[in-house]
Structure formats: C-alpha cells, structure tokens
Amino acid sequence: MLFLRAVVLGTIVVSGYGSDRRFPSGFKFGSASSAYQVEGGWNASDKGESVWDRYAHDHPDIVVNGNGDVACDSYHLWKEDIRIAHELGLHFYRFSISWTRIMPTGFPTAISETGKQYYSNLIDGLLEKGIEPVVTLYHWDLPQKLQDLGGWTNPLITDWFSDYARIIFSFYADRVKTWITINEPILICDGAYNMEFTAPRIKEMEMAPFLCNKHTLIAHAKAWRIYDTEYRHKYHGKVSLTNNLVWMEPFTPEYEDLAELALQHCAGRYAHPIFSKEGGWPPLLEKVIAEYSRKQGHVRSRLPPFTKAEKELIRGTYDFFAMNMYTSRLVRPSEPGDGPRIWFVTGSPELNITLVADPRWKVGAVSIMPAYPVGMRRQIAWLRREYGQHLPILITETGYGSLDRNLDDEERIDFISDHLEQILLSIKEDGANIIGFSVWTLMDNFEWMDGYRSRFGLYDVDFKDPMRKRTPRASAHFYSHLIKTQILHKTRVRSHRHEDVRMSKRSSNSSSNFTGLMLLLYTIFLQLFILL
C-alpha cells in the first residue's frame, strides 16, 4: 500500500507552564468516535437498518452532503484507526457498538457472527497496542424496527436495551473494563423530539422528551445492574452513562436562582435520579413542571413520576460520572419578542427562560456551540456540590469544529489547551477527582445533520479518497506531545508549507516503526525548545 503523509514544516513556539501544569499520575488521555459516524458498511454482511440509516436515506435534502453509508470506512479500515490511535499514544479509545451490527433485528433472536467478530478484532487490536477500549453501548443508532414500535417512548425499550446489553457484556466484558451505557440521553430525548435535531425526526414536544428521559434512565439502570450482578465479580469493570452538559450562568446576578433551575433541567434531570442520595427527579424541577402542566390543562404532570421501585432501581447505578461538554449559556427570564423557546437551544417554556450566548465566546463551525472554557470548571464544581466532592469524573467528549481541512489548526489547539487548563485548576485548586479526558474526535467523520461539513478531527480525513486517507493535524502533534509528557504546554505550529511525501510500499511493522521514529524526533525537538 502507498501511504501519504502530510508533513508540516513550520515554526514551533513552545512555552512551558512548569510543574504545576503536570497532570496527576494515572490521569488518562483518550479520543472518541461513534459507530454510525465512522464505520460505514451500513449494509455489510447481515447488519440491520438503524434509525440513522433510514433518516439519512429518506432526507438527503436535510442532512448536509451525504450520509454515513461509508463515512470513514472504519468497518474495513479499523486497523488504520488503531494505527493512528497508537501514533497519538492514546491511553484509551472510546468507540460505540452498532446495535444492528450485532443484532440485525434489534432482538436477540438473531446474532451476527460477522458483527461480533468485527468488534472483537477492534478490541483485541487496541489492547495489543496498549490502548484501553472504552465502549459505548448506544450512541444514537437505534434499530429501525424498535423505532417502529415507539422507540424510546415505549416503556418496553428498557427490556429490549437490557437484553442487548447482556449480550454485549457476554461477548466483550472479559476485555473491556470501562463501559458507557447510553451517550447523551438529553440529545436522544430533548434534541430529537423538541427540535428534530437527530433521528427519528419526530417532533412531539409535550410528552415524548420526558417519556424518553425516564426510559433512558431505566434502561441504563437495568444494564448497570446486569453488569453489577453478573460480570463485576469476574472482570472488575466500571459502568456509567454520559450526558451532554451545558453550563448555565445567570445573565445578570439577580437571575442566579433561574440559572440553577436551568442546570437542574439540563444536568439534574438526567443525573439526580442516578447520583443523588434520595433519587428521583430534582425536587424543584419536579414542582415547576407539575405546576406548568396544570396550567396547560393536564390532569397530571408531563414529567412522569417514578415508582418507589423505579427510584431504587436507578439510584446508585454508577461507578463514575461521565460528561460531554462543548458549550455554555447565559440565562435570563423570557421576554416578549423572544420567539418560541426550544429547550437545549434557546430556552424552555416550562421554566419561562431564554438562553443566550455571550458574544465574546469563541464560535467554531457549529454556531450553537460557542466555547467558554471556564464553564467546564464551574460545571465540574456544580456536579461535586450536587453529588459529592470525591465524585470520579471522566470527560468523555469535548472538541472544536472547523469548516476547512487546514492542518495548522491553532484554534483547535487553543480549545483543547484552554479546557485542559480549567480541568487542571479543578484538580489542583478545587480538589476535583477527574480521572481522564477525551477529545472529540480522533478523525473527521459524519457529523450528523452537518454531514461532512464540520470537521472535529485530530486527523483530517479525505472523504474523496477511496482509502479515506487520514492525515495528522497540528492538534494531533500537540495532543501526542501532551500525552507523552503529561504536562500542559501551549504549543503552536505555524506552517510555512505542506508537502506530500510518498512512502514506498512496506510492511505495517516498518510503517509503524517509521511513524514512531518521527514522533520521537518531534518530541525531542519540542523538549529542546522547552529547555531553551
């Protein structure tokens, strides 16, 4: 095979922050992806149809420039994914399993041996390179057959999901020690049903978000308890779910109580039932939504209650707190002229709030996700106040999107560095127990509604190349150096030019050796600058 490597030739400027910028021993750095966004092979072998297969095929006018039919072609190029993860020096690689690649109908009546082997190969390949696989059971790609039966609004889905989880644990729990049950239930529920942000494109804002909310929590809890009773004593792994958190700050100081209510609506609604001592919905939020429901004419709250047994089932089903975080918002009361408030984007009619972004915050390719790194530290402090000062926290996603293929991605380096600085402050000054950090994403991929327009990758992917060539950006070199030194240095790479260097046909071992040598020389070069 002919490999092409883009070499960045430029001026490197490094400033060291000193020993206080060293991460604690045992802190892990990783990167993340999801099945539909990278795998392709949408109908390979006996794989079944997911909601995203259906959605992207039926709405090419809505999804920007394409679908996930091929994506990064990781289904065939999984060895390349392992190669670049190893090139970076990742401690862990977070990926998700496609439900329909393992169980084509969504039910355990049929198991795909091809799908089972695909993930087994990926897990074994990562472990051989010393990279821990962190596996997400569900990252948005519900089997279409289950969606036809009501999807996450059908209470039976909690059993369907637990059946799926049990099978996946039986296949891989001997090798996978860190599990995420469900990725971002707030986007599965609130994002999907409030604003048609994601498949299955059903807009029902009154009942569906809250039904989905409850059922994702119960599904998670059942999966956690399966692992706890059937696998923990054998393999000693850890399980949690991860949500997408948005830090909420008062627009002006007098709106502090309103910001707290917004935090309970965003984070608490998906965390309080699991992580609080008493369980159930956040009490203040439960009261507000009940009152609003009565004003609407409902005879009972739109927020469905938990039974005592359900509270006990859910409460305590965690081994760590996993969080994705990209952005923040300012909170103020809604005013005439604000227009419709759609939760998670502009506000909430239940809470009578409007969410706005500070115009000073940095905006990347995704305009609804302006960056406010300080919000990361403040969100972590809030979680610790709510759920315990020693709560282990794993940052499972954050990242910066761009609209170009520029390899000199200084803005992405700034984003990662600025957020890691806040994480270090959380650890060293606040005493937070943060155990790891994961960049979204390892490589450019299919970014849902934004298709291939937004690029979040540490590695550029050429989607016009049949081999989906992966090329490291400056941020990849920055991140690799950070992982090796465990010290947060601000590294800028200003490129004078790029040139493609054609490497002759060679074995995978020699290719890996060459890459390792280049990274070693790069690291030595950086360290010399630091010493100077």
Rounded Cα distance, 446 and 40, in Å: 10
Rounded Cα distance, 245 and 256, in Å: 18
Domains defined along the chain, listed by start: 3-531 (3.20.20.80)
Helix (H, G, I), strand (E, B) or coil at 87: helix
Q: Which pLDDT score, from 0 to 100, does residue 493 have?
A: 41
- With left for phi above 0 and alpha for psi between -120 and 50, is residue 124 left, alpha or beta? alpha
**Other C-beta atoms lying within 10 Å of the C-beta of residue 484:** 17
Strands (E) in 365-428, as ranges, are 392-397
Three-state SS string across 369-413, please?
CCECHHHHHHHHHHHHHHHCCCCEEEEEECCCCECCCCCCCHHHH
CA 133 to chain centre: 15
Q: Which pLDDT score, from 0 to 100, does residue 490 have?
A: 57
Q: What is the mean pLDDT of each run of 10 residues along the chain (532 residues)?
A: 30 44 96 98 98 94 92 98 98 98 97 98 98 98 98 98 98 98 97 87 94 98 98 98 98 97 98 98 97 96 98 98 97 92 88 95 87 98 98 98 95 97 98 98 96 96 98 98 91 36 33 42 40 37
**Other C-beta atoms lying within 10 Å of the C-beta of residue 109:** 8
What would the two tokens of residue 478 be? 């920055």
- With left for phi above 0 and alpha for psi between -120 and 50, is residue 409 left, alpha or beta? beta
Q: Which amino acid is at 261?
A: L
Residues catalogued as catalytic: 184, 397
Bridge partner residues of 348 (DSSP): 353
Whole-prediction pTM: 0.89
Q: Which pLDDT score, from 0 to 100, does residue 258 have?
A: 97
Rounded Cα distance, 169 and 229, in Å: 12
The tens digit of pLDDT for each residue in 230-276 reads 999 999 999 999 999 999 999 999 999 999 999 999 999 999 999 99
Backbone angles phi, psi at 399, to 5 degrees: -175, 175
β 490-503/3-15 pair status = antiparallel
Rounded Cα distance, 499 and 520, in Å: 20
The tens digit of pLDDT for each residue in 387-440 reads 999 999 999 999 999 999 999 999 999 999 999 999 999 999 999 999 999 999
Looking up tokens 């005879």 gives 299
Q: Are 437 and 423 in contact (CB under 8 A)?
A: yes
Q: Which pLDDT score, from 0 to 100, does residue 505 have?
A: 32
Strands (E) in 66-177, as ranges, are 92-96, 132-138
